[in-house]
Structure 1
Amino acid sequence: MLSERAQLLLTTLVERYIADGQPVGSKTLSQASGLVVSPATIRNVMAELEDLGFIASPHTSAGRIPTARGYRFFVDSLMVMQSLDRLERHAPPEVGGLPKGNPQRSIAAASQLVSQLTHFAGVVMLPKRQEAILTHIEFLQLGENRVLLILVTADGDVQNRILTTQTAYSPAQLTEAANFLNAHCAGKTFGHLRGVVEAEVHALKGELVTLLNAAAQDAMASPGNETVLISGERNLLDSDDLASNMGRLRQLFELFDRKTALLQLLDVGNRADGVQIYIGGESGLEPLGDCSVITAPYRTNGEIVGTLGVIGPTRMAYERVIPIVNVTAKLLSSALSQ
C-alpha cells in the first residue's frame, strides 16, 4: 500500500509525463503536486516508488518516468476517468452516431472514429463468419466440374466460392440444390448451415448430397472467416515514443499486416464483459512492448459479436482514451442492433 503522499506524487508524475513527454524532476513534482515538503522528502518518496518498480530514471536525465507497472497502478487505482460530457465537447460531430443499416459501413466508421478521436490506430475484430445471417444461396455452373457458390448475407455482403466437384451437375440439379438450401437455411446463420444440411439431406437425391456438403464446408472454411479492420496506423508514426525506435515500429506494422496474433489478443476481449487494458508486455506480443491496447466488446441485439479498440504508445491519456473506446463500442452496438 502506498501512502497518500506517494499516491499523489505518482499521480502527478504520470500525468505530467503523459502531458509533456519529459522526465519529471523533483522540483517540478513538488510544484505540480502542491505538496509543501522538503526536496529530501520528495527524493525519498521517489526512491520508494522506484524500488517498487513504478518509476524509472533514464540515464540521460535526473528526472523520472513511469514504467509499465507504474501505468498499471495508476490506471487501476489512481486515475480519475474523464467525463463523457467533456469528451462530447471536444469530439467531432460524428461522435453522436454511426451509419446504420449496413454493418460493414458501421464497423468501418467505428474504426475510423475511434482512431480520429484518440489519434492512435483503431482496430476492430469483425463478427465471426458463422454469426452472419444468410438470405440467399445460389449455384451457377462454370464448367463440367466447377460450380460457383453464391452466398448473400443480411448485411448485403456477397460471397462467391468456386467448388470443384466430381460430378457434372445439370442446371436443373443446381436449381434444386439452391431451392433446398434457401428453404431450409435462409434467415439462419452460417454456423447453422452445416447442421441443417446434415439433418435434412435425406430429403434430396443422393447425387446432390455431396454438393451440399461441399457447399456447407466451404462456406464455413472460407477465407476471412475472422479478420481485423485497422484504421489510422499512420498516426503511430507521429508518436515520438514509437517513432524513435524504428525496429520496434517495423515489428508493429508487420503485426498489423499479419493480423493473426492481433486477432488472438482481440478475441480475449471478445469473451470479456467490459473494457480490457493491456499495458506494455501485458499483451504477450513483443511488437506491442512499447504500446498499450485498450479494447471493449460490441454487441448485436445484446450478444457480443466482436471487439473494438485502439493501439497507441504506453504514454497515452488513459483517462480520456478509455471512455472513448467504451463509448464508441456502445455506439457501434447501437448501430448494429437497429
Structure 2
Amino acid sequence: METEKLNDRESCVLQTLVRDYISSAEPTSSRTVSRKSGLMLSPASIRNIITDLEEKGYVSQPHTSAGRIPTNRGYRYYVDYLIEIAGLSTKEQGEVDGTCSSLVSSVEEITSATAKLLSSMSAELGLVLAPRFYKGVFKKLDIVPLSEKNILLVLAIESGLVNTVTCEIKSVYDEKELERACAFINERLEGKQLSEIKERLEEIVRTEDSKTISAVRLFVDNARDLFDFPDKKIIHVEGTSNIVSQPEFSTLERVGSVIGLLERKELLVSPLEKRMKDGVYITIGEENTEDNLEQYSIVTANYSIGGISGIKGTLGIMGPPRMQYERLISLVDYTARFLTDRFVH
C-alpha cells in the first residue's frame, strides 16, 4: 500500500497515539490524545482525526475497546516520519562499552555476550549473527600440543578473529615437525580467502614438501571443522522470557509460536544475512516475509571484525511491533559501531 502523507494534525495525533500505546500496551482514547498531544483540541475533534487515520489504515479499533491502537502501517509511518531518535544515556553507553571491551576474538564469545547485552538492555530478544567467517582472509595457523594424544589447531584471520579445533592424534609429533608444518601451511595459505581454501585445500597444499611433513596431513584432515561454523554457533538468540512476558504473547498459542521459532533459531540466519544495508535496518510485521516472523519487528545493524573492510556480522533486536523504536535504534546502532571499533586491527 502506498504511503499517504499525513497533515500536521494527523501526524501529531498518530505520534501521540503510538507513543502512548508503546508505553501502556492499552488502546488509546481520544481523551488521552487530547490531553497529551498539545494540539489544544477537544476529545471530539481528536476523535474525528482518529477516525480519518483509521480509514487510512494507520490505526485500528480492538473489538473490546473504544480506544485505538497503531497498525503495522501506523508504526511504519511513525518510524519513517515521526520518530525522534534519543541517544543512549551515559550509563547505557558505559554498559555497552564495558561488555564489548572485555570480549576477545572468539566467535562464540562475541555472539553470545552481545546477544545477552542487547536482550538485557532492550527487554526484547537479542540477536547476533556471527561474522561471515568464510569471507575472511587467512593470516596464520598455530599448532599447540595439549597432551600426548591431543593438539589444538588455532586459525587466525586478518581481521583478528580466531577459530580453534581440538583434535586427537594417533602418533606423537615433535616440536620441530609441528613448526615445519605451520611454516609450510602459512606460506601456502597466507592472503587467501577462507572460502577458496575450503574449496581447493588439497590442491593448494599438494607439493613434494607436503608429503615429507606428516603433520600437514593432520591439518588437512581437520580443515572441515576448522573452516566451518556449525549452524548452532552461527546465531545467538537471548531473552525468551522478555518476549513471553509481554501482553502480545499472553495466549498459549502465541507463546508456543515463540518457543517453536527459538527451537529452530537457525531459520533466523537467512533473513538476517539478507540485511546487508548500511546503517540501522528496520522491518515491521508483514515486511518480514519469512514464515513466523510477521508478528515481529526486527531492528538490526551490521558490525565488522577488523574495521570497516573486515568481515561482517549482524546484530539486532526482535520483539512485537509495539517496541521503543527511539531507544532501540540507538542501542543497536551504538553497539554495532562500538563492536566494529573494538575489533579494528
In structure 1, the partner of 2:298 is 293
Deviation (angstroms), 1:325: 0.6
Measured in 2, the distance between the counterparts of 1:238 and 1:278 equals: 22
Q: 1:111 aligns with which of 105, 110, 115?
A: 115
The Cα offsets for residues 188-218 of structure 1, whole Å up to 9 and x where unpaired, read as: 5533424465245244567989987655556
In structure 1, the partner of 2:51 is 47
Q: 1:272 aligns with which of 274, 277, 290?
A: 277
The Cα offsets for residues 207-255 of structure 1, whole Å up to 9 and x where unpaired, read as: 989987655556445634971012222222322222x133222222322
In structure 1, the partner of 2:104 is 102
Aligned residues of 2:21 and 2:69 also touching (Cα < 8 A): yes
Measured in 2, the distance between the counterparts of 1:320 and 1:253 equals: 26
The Cα offsets for residues 30-67 of structure 1, whole Å up to 9 and x where unpaired, read as: 11112233444322221211111110000000100001
Note the residue ranges of structure 1 that are not aligned, 5 or more in a row.
Answer: 141-146
Task: Please say which of residues 25-34 and 205-214 is displaced more in the overlay.
Answer: 205-214
Q: Is 1:69 equivalent to 2:70 in the alignment?
A: no
Q: Which amino acid aligns with 1:237?
A: V
Q: 2:330 aligns with which of 323, 327, 338?
A: 323
- After superposition, where does 1:73-92 map in structure 2 within 5 Å? 73-82=77-86, 84=87, 87-89=88-90, 91=92
Q: 2:165 aligns with which of 155, 159, 164?
A: 159
SS in 1 for 2:67: coil
SS in 1 for 2:101: coil
Task: State the identity %.
Answer: 32
SS in 1 for 2:26: coil
Q: TM-score, normalised by structure 1?
A: 0.81
Q: Is 1:252 equivalent to 2:252 in the alignment?
A: no
When residues 220 and 136 of structure 1 are mapped into structure 2, their CA distance, relative to the original with a 3 A threshold, is: closer
Q: Which amino acid aligns with 2:278?
A: D
Q: 1:261 aligns with which of 253, 267, 280?
A: 267
In structure 2, the partner of 1:143 is none
Q: 2:247 aligns with which of 237, 240, 251?
A: 240
The Cα offsets for residues 291-334 of structure 1, whole Å up to 9 and x where unpaired, read as: 21100000121135100101122111111110111001111111
Q: Which amino acid aligns with 2:89?
A: E
In structure 1, the partner of 2:189 is 185
Measured in 1, the distance between the counterparts of 2:193 and 2:137 equals: 5
In structure 1, the partner of 2:320 is 313
When residues 32 and 330 of structure 1 are mapped into structure 2, their CA distance, relative to the original with a 3 A threshold, is: same
When residues 205 and 66 of structure 1 are mapped into structure 2, their CA distance, relative to the original with a 3 A threshold, is: closer
When residues 234 and 38 of structure 1 are mapped into structure 2, their CA distance, relative to the original with a 3 A threshold, is: closer
Q: CA RMSD in A?
A: 3.3
Measured in 2, the distance between the counterparts of 1:53 and 1:77 equals: 16
Aligned residues of 1:88 and 1:95 also touching (Cα < 8 A): no
Q: Which amino acid aligns with 1:99?
A: S
SS in 2 for 1:319: helix
SS in 2 for 1:288: coil
Aligned residues of 2:111 and 2:235 also touching (Cα < 8 A): no
When residues 80 and 37 of structure 1 are mapped into structure 2, their CA distance, relative to the original with a 3 A threshold, is: same
When residues 62 and 198 of structure 1 are mapped into structure 2, their CA distance, relative to the original with a 3 A threshold, is: same
When residues 246 and 135 of structure 1 are mapped into structure 2, their CA distance, relative to the original with a 3 A threshold, is: farther
Measured in 2, the distance between the counterparts of 1:7 and 1:90 equals: 32
Q: Is 1:283 equivalent to 2:285 in the alignment?
A: no
Deviation (angstroms), 1:262: 0.4
Aligned residues: 322
Q: Which amino acid aligns with 2:56?
A: L
SS in 2 for 1:127: coil
Q: Which amino acid aligns with 2:76?
A: R
Note the residue ranges of structure 2 that are not aligned, 5 or more in a row.
Answer: none
Measured in 2, the distance between the counterparts of 1:115 and 1:81 equals: 20
Task: Please say which of residues 43-52 and 327-336 is displaced more in the overlay.
Answer: 43-52
Q: Which amino acid aligns with 1:272?
A: K
Deviation (angstroms), 1:277: 0.7
SS in 2 for 1:298: strand
Measured in 2, the distance between the counterparts of 1:302 and 1:224 equals: 25
